[in-house]
Amino acid sequence: MTRFDAIYQEMLGRILNEGVKQISGRNAHETIAIPGMHFSHDIERDGFPLLTLRKIPVKMFVAEQIWFIAGVRKPADFLREFTKIWDSFTNPADVVTVAYGYRWRKHFGRDQLGLLVKHLKEDASSRHAVVVTWDPAQDGLGGTKRANVPCPYTFTVNIIGGRLHLHNIVRSNDMVLGFPSDVAGFALLQCILAQKLGVIPGVYSHSISNAHVWDNQYEAARELLARGNEHAPIRLVLPKNTYDRAERKDKKLVDEIVEPLSSQYAPLPHIAGMQIVL
């Protein structure tokens, strides 16, 4: 197995063996959960963290991340051509009010992502490269009712030893369906930022306040724990100027990122019947 597959199985096994069962007040589904889970993965040393224990839709997380970097919030604006993953969270105007990229680039009155790039170009030693998605005026605490609030709610970028490291903070992670795509997407963002800043991708870190498995995914989680393979590490190769082309919503960019990944990707079969819990 790849190192990321082994990390994933260790986390999933710990949840099933040590986690606490709890009924969600939002939808009456049961979860098994553990607080405060964390992992770190060195992309340069161990390869790109793309799960091979089941098939992950590569085009989905690639297109999603480009959509984020572009800073837009309508799925019809670029994203829907590649995936409909955000369609469940649109309002009647076809707007995702909590679209991550929009919040990174426009929502708070400043372009956080653009300023991060500018700031680290000026001072690579800075520890101030923080991007926030969570809006305390609107999100959580029994406030505005909406279909979705940010799960990965802030990340920090550091350049240490000539390598770009990204630490992602997540309030809640569905470990069967959400987690693998979240990791791949934010690791892709890390690599894109590293290319833009002329450095090498380093350690991707991921910290979860509530790591859980939903009741309709228990059997799928057990199946994932029983699986094994001999997959080689995956190496991400980005086309030139990926960040700038993502800002322009260059549709050709999706396939140019997906094809080199897919050529290395030989996952085990998908698990039928898995459904997201809203």
The DSSP string of 124-158 is TT-S--EEE---TTTSSTT-S--S---SEEEEEEE
Annotated catalytic residue, options 79, 85, 131, 151: 151
Amino acid, res. 88: S
Q: How far apart are CA 125 and CA 265, in angstroms?
A: 35
Identify the band that residue 146 occupies on the pLDDT scale cut at 50, 70 and 90: confident
Is 151 among the catalytic positions?
Answer: yes
User: Model confidence over 225-278: pLDDT tens digits?
Assistant: 999 999 999 999 999 999 999 999 999 999 999 999 999 999 999 998 777 776
Give the span between the Cα atoms of 67 and 258, in whole angstroms.
Answer: 15
Contact by Cβ (8 Å): 59, 265: no
Domain 3-264 has CATH 3.30.572.10: yes
Question: Distance between CA 48 and CA 268 in Å, rounded?
Answer: 17
Give the DSSP H or E segment for 23: strand 20-23
Range with the lowest mean pLDDT among 83-97, 140-154, 178-192, 240-254? 140-154
pLDDT tier, 143 (very low <50, low <70, confident <90, very high otherwise): confident
Once rounded to an integer, what is the mean pLDDT over residues 184-201?
Answer: 98
CA 39 to chain CA centroid, nearest Å: 14
Mean pLDDT of the chain: 96
Q: What pLDDT band is residue 211 in, cutting at 50, 70 and 90? A: very high
Q: How confident is the model at residue 94 (pLDDT cuts 50, 70, 90)?
A: very high
